[in-house]
Amino acid sequence: MTLINCDIGEKGPLHEEDRKLMDFIHIANLACDGHAGDKESVAAFRALADERGVRLTAHLSYPDRENFGRAAMAITDAKLLEALEAQLALLPGVTLVKFHGALYNEACRDARLAGLLAGWLLRSGVSGVLAPADSELAYAAHKLDVAVLREAFLDRRYAYDEAAGHLCLMSRAAPNAAITDVNEALAQAEEIVKRGRVNVSGDPARPVWKAIKADTVSIHSDTPIVLELAQKLRAALDQDEKAAAAAGVSGNIRLVKPGFCGTAGLPVYGRQHIGVSPGGAMDCFSLRRGNLMLGNPDGSPALEILGPPEIEMLTPGRFVLMGARLEAFLHRGPGDPAEVEHSRVYEVEAGDRLKFGDKRYGLNTYFCFRGRAGGGPAPAGTVPFAAVSGWADPSGRIRVLPGPEYHCLQQSERFFRGQWRTTFKMDKMGIRLAGEPGLTCGMGNMISGAVADGTVQLTPESPIILLRHRQTIGGYPRIFNVISADIDLLGQYTPNQAIHFVQVTLEEAREFARQKEVVLEKLRQSQS
């Protein structure tokens, strides 16, 4: 769930609006006598946070009450850290920090300052920091294993820094920098939380969308709309959480016969540096489309089926089968079972059972479910299989980009001319290929290096294609990388299936990825 954070304690311990806000927020950024606040307000709101179950951050600033921490200060590193330590001391035991005002903005764009602050957080025993996902502060914190709670703002408009290549807040000096209309702020929240995007045009009527990732959304306590916004936002998020609880298979079905299957959601990135691969569904494209057809969040867990189980519904709701085609029959009551059509939404009641046959095209079938208590759009009609499969042509075309050791590959044309096939040596980690013999790389032993989804490594036996459950490093030459748009296709390849590789440019790879997102967006719009 997306969390609401708000700056608290900037107007004294008895400020009535701040105290009311504590009923609607998840995280209180408590001013610690840098830009505002004092020992008394910290004590009062800490007690209130404990009572209301609100998490606290230490809201740290340049020591500049005169300018409310919104002006950059010419201060030595030693004096800055000394001031921050004094502020942090007002909240002993707190493990989460948010920087304020000018210090926040400078740390987001200044790599040196970001590194200084991240190192200080680590030494101070602070385990997490609030920061924009693409900021220098987030990058520096990640390097030191300080957790980052990715943050977006709802009462401020965004711009895009073309030179730096990332989002930034509009300057407060701009006439339309602040969002002062509750409905507009809620609309920005919906775009950020549900679609992962924000408008950077400054004009709600003519949006220019940029991607944004947020674990928490921030509202400022000194804006006129803050209390109404907090109330309505919390109600909307609580409703979304209720709907999400009904989405997915957990607690909604029972496996009468286990088959060979398990729950799967979307991959989780950002942990490779500690040796954890992304994981997730083999065919995320099919998973996402199934959830979209049901009105579920994209990443709602589904049942990923390799060997057919028997499923009993524990709650009333609706389901859809996506991915590999698998013969299926819905049993309800004493009558004859009804054959289930692929990519069609079905209404079910508690006690209904789904049984499978053997007919198959592809490898992984996805059973997506939504409990009736979750609400959402009315069931969709049948979507043609061709429109939702997204699979390559019968020749097995897979598109690739050159890898880090591509230039060491001898006779590279043989890789593209060769007739490759998958083997039985395949699982969620990767696929070993059989085909063109004698493919060699003109380099000696190499130090293990990072690998990615779709990395094609040349081993002494044959090439292998690494998938999302792969190891995080490898010591074989990385000759090519399957483009992101084709990774899901590999999740549907069965043993002894032909693969034909085609090299594309980086610009083409980006366009193919964009086209897949367009397909999903059209499906999303058709269901809304």
DSSP string, 436-450: -TT-EES------EE
Residues 525 and 528: their CA atoms lie apart, in Å, by: 5
DSSP-derived 3-state class of residue 347? strand
- What is the per-residue pLDDT for 238? 87
- What is the per-residue pLDDT for 394? 59
Say if 523 falls within a structural domain: no
User: Does the CA dihedral 118-120-125-126 come out positive or negative?
Assistant: negative
| Per-residue buried b or exposed e for 25-34, using 16+ beta carbons within 10 Å of the residue's own CB | bbbbbbbbbb
Query: 328: pLDDT confidence band, cut at 50, 70 and 90?
Result: very high
Q: Are strands 463-466 and 346-348 parallel, antiparallel or unpaired?
A: unpaired
* DSSP symbol at 391: P
- What is the per-residue pLDDT for 523? 80
* Enclosing H/E stretch for 67: none
Looking at the fold, whether 9 and 33 belong to one and the same domain comes out as yes
Structural tokens at position 492: 């549907």
Looking at the fold, whether 346 and 208 belong to one and the same domain comes out as no
Say if 525 falls within a structural domain: no
Q: What is the mean pLDDT of residues 141-147?
A: 92
Query: 126: pLDDT confidence band, cut at 50, 70 and 90?
Result: very high
- What is the per-residue pLDDT for 166? 84
Highest mean pLDDT among 25-29, 246-250, 315-319, 382-386: 25-29
Q: What is the mean pLDDT of residues 375-382?
A: 46
The residue to which tokens 């020992």 are assigned: 39
Q: Are the C-beta atoms of residues 480 and 415 closer than 8 Å to each other? A: yes
Last residue of a domain, one of 390, 411, 426: 390
The residue with greater pLDDT, 374 or 157, is 157
Percent of the chain residues topping a pLDDT of 90: 66
Q: 442: buried, middle or exposed (CB in 10 Å: 19+, 13-18, 0-12)? A: exposed
Looking at the fold, whether 164 and 260 belong to one and the same domain comes out as no
User: Does the CA dihedral 72-78-79-84 come out positive or negative?
Assistant: positive
Query: 395: pLDDT confidence band, cut at 50, 70 and 90?
Result: low
pLDDT (tens digit per residue) in 71-80: 999 999 999 9
* Enclosing H/E stretch for 512: helix 506-527
Query: 373: pLDDT confidence band, cut at 50, 70 and 90?
Result: low
Looking at the fold, whether 65 and 193 belong to one and the same domain comes out as yes
pLDDT (tens digit per residue) in 66-116: 999 999 999 999 999 999 999 999 999 999 999 999 999 999 999 999 999
DSSP-derived 3-state class of residue 4? strand
> Phi/psi zone of residue 195: left (φ > 0), alpha (ψ -120 to 50 degrees), beta?
alpha
> Phi/psi zone of residue 454: left (φ > 0), alpha (ψ -120 to 50 degrees), beta?
left
* Enclosing H/E stretch for 344: none
CB atoms within 10 A of CB 19: 15
Main-chain dihedrals φ then ψ at residue 75, nearest 5 degrees: -140, 140
Task: State the amino acid at position 471 in one-letter form.
Answer: Q
Query: Residue 490: which residues within 8 A CB-CB, separation 6 or more?
Result: 282, 398, 431, 454, 465, 467, 482
Q: What angle do CA 515, 516, 520 make, to 5 degrees?
A: 115
User: Mind giving me the DSSP string for 239-282?
Assistant: HHHHHHHHBSSTTTEEEEE--EEEEE-----S-GGGT------S
What CATH number is given to the structural domain containing 405?
2.40.100.10
Q: What angle do CA 217, 219, 221 make, to 5 degrees?
A: 155
Last residue of a domain, one of 205, 222, 244: 244
What CATH number is given to the structural domain containing 217?
3.20.20.370
Output the CA torsion 156→161→167→170 (10° steps).
-10
Q: What is the mean pLDDT of residues 471-486?
A: 93
Last residue of a domain, one of 218, 244, 270: 244
Highest mean pLDDT among 241-245, 261-265, 376-380, 395-399: 261-265
Say if 352 falls within a structural domain: yes
Looking at the fold, whether 101 and 124 belong to one and the same domain comes out as yes
Mean pLDDT across the chain: 89
Residue 396 predicted with pLDDT over 70: yes
Q: What is the mean pLDDT of residues 234-259?
A: 83
Looking at the fold, whether 291 and 208 belong to one and the same domain comes out as no
Residue 297 predicted with pLDDT over 60: yes
pLDDT (tens digit per residue) in 449-467: 999 999 999 998 889 999 9
Q: How many domains does the chain have?
A: 3
Structural tokens at position 236: 């909307």
Q: Are the C-beta atoms of residues 180 and 225 closer than 8 Å to each other? A: yes
Query: 270: pLDDT confidence band, cut at 50, 70 and 90?
Result: confident
The range of the structural domain enclosing residue 485 comes to 397-518
Looking at the fold, whether 287 and 370 belong to one and the same domain comes out as yes
Q: Are the C-beta atoms of residues 144 and 116 closer than 8 Å to each other? A: no
Looking at the fold, whether 44 and 174 belong to one and the same domain comes out as yes
Query: 205: pLDDT confidence band, cut at 50, 70 and 90?
Result: confident
Say if 225 falls within a structural domain: yes
Q: What angle do CA 220, 223, 226 make, to 5 degrees?
A: 70
Say if 66 falls within a structural domain: yes
Looking at the fold, whether 153 and 20 belong to one and the same domain comes out as yes
Say if 274 falls within a structural domain: yes
Task: State the amino acid at position 355 in one-letter form.
Answer: K
The residue to which tokens 């957790």 are assigned: 147
Q: Are strands 317-331 and 353-371 parallel, antiparallel or unpaired?
A: antiparallel
DSSP-derived 3-state class of residue 474? strand
* Enclosing H/E stretch for 215: none
Say if 21 falls within a structural domain: yes
Looking at the fold, whether 501 and 355 belong to one and the same domain comes out as no
Looking at the fold, whether 164 and 258 belong to one and the same domain comes out as no
- What is the per-residue pLDDT for 389? 46
Say if 524 falls within a structural domain: no
157-161, 249-253, 262-266, 299-303: segment of lowest average pLDDT: 249-253
pLDDT (tens digit per residue) in 507-525: 999 999 988 888 888 887 7
Q: What is the mean pLDDT of residues 16-40?
A: 95
Q: Are the C-beta atoms of residues 199 and 207 closer than 8 Å to each other? A: yes
Looking at the fold, whether 12 and 150 belong to one and the same domain comes out as yes
- How distant is the alpha carbon of residue 5 from its chain centre? 19
- What is the per-residue pLDDT for 163? 82
